[in-house]
Amino acid sequence: MTFIEFLEIKEEDIVKECKNFYKNSGGYHDARFDTISLFLVIKEGINKGYIKGKEKNFLKEVI
């Protein structure tokens, strides 16, 4: 099981965020797609309480 599966992140969510950040969806193993995948893993990990030590709005402050 991958982190994406564990956190129930759908491919559509990744594509949507890619379009939001890059105006392009990319695809698996495209650097943009992989970067957004990791971003969503961290975001969902924080939101679901698996990554501790930061407030839920932490990523809003970073970007």
The tens digit of pLDDT for each residue in 1-28 reads 999 999 999 999 998 998 888 887 667 7
H or E segment at 14? Answer: helix 11-22
C-alpha to C-alpha distance for 35 and 8, rounded to whole angstroms = 17
DSSP letter for 30, please.
-
Identify the pLDDT of residue 6: 96
Which of 55, 58, 35 minimizes the C-alpha distance to 14? 35
Q: What is the mean pLDDT of residues 37-63?
A: 77
Residue 24 is given by DSSP the state S
Nearest-CA neighbor of 34 among 52, 55, 11, 51? 11
